Amino acid sequence: MSVESVMFSGHIAYDLYEHTSPEGLEYTYRGNVNSDVVENILSLAETNFGDMKEKLMVRKKVYFIMVESLQNITRHQDLEGTTGGENFDQYGLFIIRRGRYGYYITSANLVKNEHCEKLKEKLDIVNSKDSDELKNYSRQILANGEYSQKGGAGLGLIEIARKAGSKIKYGFVPTECGYSRFYQHIDVLFNKKDVDKPEVKAEVQKYSLDKLIAFHIGLQKNRIFLHYSGILNQENLINLLSILSRQINVSKGLRTKVYCVMIELLQNILAHADKPVKTRDVQGCFGMFFIRQTPEHLILSAANHILTSKIPETQKLIDSLNETDREERSRLLTLPDSKGSGLIAIINRSKHKIQYDYTKLNDEYSLFSMTILLDKDVKKDTNM
């Protein structure tokens, strides 16, 4: 498989962009979920809560549901006897999205087919009860001593439903080897009284479970294991870099490369994004960052809004730097009016050409993306 075919399979950045809100937040993690990953994801959420200045009640609800959803993945994933490999995706999934009218939290993990019916029964019972009935049901379970370490009585599901104030949406998708992937999706609206408004219904439908399952299939197809979309500014950039770098399980040498390239890519968004985003709570610019993985490579991509009129100039600069050798790039860095120093640093670090793509969004702006390939074998010499 050529480098080019590894790096691109259609307009991935734009496909992701269509699923996100330029004024909101989306964070996706697809991989092994352990205590460190849980801590990192919660830390990212805390950072964004601060940026968005969410009301305390909303923060508490969302944080609780995130904790329960992530713990459910670690507690309930049934992986004994699975074979792994390219055709059997054992990874857990966690997605948190912030729209204009609420948060949308999705998790997924594998369960044995023999356990699906029992889990479905618990969810149907929880979804059949109103707030007061759930409160009494929780007390009844505790009084009868039905709770187990693995949450056998469904107390976690009860509390999720109570906090969200909405039904738990769920689905089972058969996989292989006697397992199904269990999806759990929760809507946390800022104001439950708005639930019947057309604009709120439209947003809820945009983040519906069926669409999220299709989105997950796209992540698997394109080997994406980490994705962030949202408003970037200098304050949250440092926190985002720290969290993203900790979730990349590679050798120390490659981790350093990844971190340096991530810095350049994200700083490039801050420096060159042409469409500022300002909400009631936070201002910055819209940015996307996602990482794909193959057995041989890590593939880092970033995207942002730029003026369509700037596309030719940007293309010319990247093409020119891609065609120069390392010695010439080093010479360019010494020039007082040198352009593209960040791009030069990226090429020198990765030892591969920068690939780019753009999609025209309207008469004024385009979504411009850059993709960088990093070899997993850090000893491999691929000097250009």
Strands 297-307 and 224-232: unpaired
Question: SS3 sequence, the chain?
Answer: CCHHHHHCCCCHHHHHHCCCCCCCEEEEEEECCCHHHHHHHHHHHHHHHHHHCCCHHHHHHHHHHHHHHHHHHHHHCCCCCCCCCCCCCCCEEEEEEECCCEEEEEEEEEEEHHHHHHHHHHHHHHHCCCHHHHHHHHHHHHHCCCCCCCCCCCHHHHHHHHHHCCCCEEEEEECCCCEEEEEEEEEEECCHHHCCCHHHHHHHHHCCHHHHHHHHHHHHHCCEEEEEEEEECHHHHHHHHHHHHHCCCCCHHHHHHHHHHHHHHHHHHHHHCCCEEECCCCEEEEEEEEEEECCCEEEEEEEEEEEHHHHHHHHHHHHHHHHCCHHHHHHHHHCCCCCCHHHHHHHHHHCCCCEEEEEECCCCEEEEEEEEEEECCCCCCCCC
In CATH terms, 32-222 corresponds, of 3.10.450, 3.30.565, 3.40.50, 3.30.70, to 3.30.565
pLDDT digits (tens, 9 = 90+) for 346-374: 999 998 999 999 999 998 999 999 999 99
Domain ranges (residues) in the chain = 1-24+235-384, 32-222
Let me know if the fold of 1-24+235-384 is the same as that of 32-222: yes
pLDDT digits (tens, 9 = 90+) for 75-128: 765 555 444 444 335 678 999 998 889 999 999 998 899 999 999 999 999 999
**Distance between CA atoms of 63 and 377, rounded to whole angstroms?**
38
Q: What is the pLDDT of residue 125?
A: 93
Confidence of residue 382 (pLDDT cuts 50, 70, 90): very low
Q: Tell me what the mean pLDDT of segment 270-298 comes to.
A: 81
Residue 13 pLDDT exceeds 60: yes
**98-130: burial string, b at 16+ Cβ within 10 Å, e else:** bbebbbbbbbbbbbeeeeeeebeebbeebeebe
Q: Tell me what the mean pLDDT of segment 200-206 comes to.
A: 92
Residue 286 pLDDT exceeds 90: no
Q: What is the pLDDT of residue 336?
A: 80
Higher pLDDT, 51 or 355: 355
Mean pLDDT over the full length of the chain: 82
Residue 235 pLDDT exceeds 50: yes
Q: What is the pLDDT of residue 9?
A: 45
Residue 200 pLDDT exceeds 90: yes
**Distance between CA atoms of 101 and 22, rounded to whole angstroms?**
14
Confidence of residue 10 (pLDDT cuts 50, 70, 90): very low
The fold of the 1-24+235-384 domain, in CATH, is: Heat Shock Protein 90 (3.30.565)
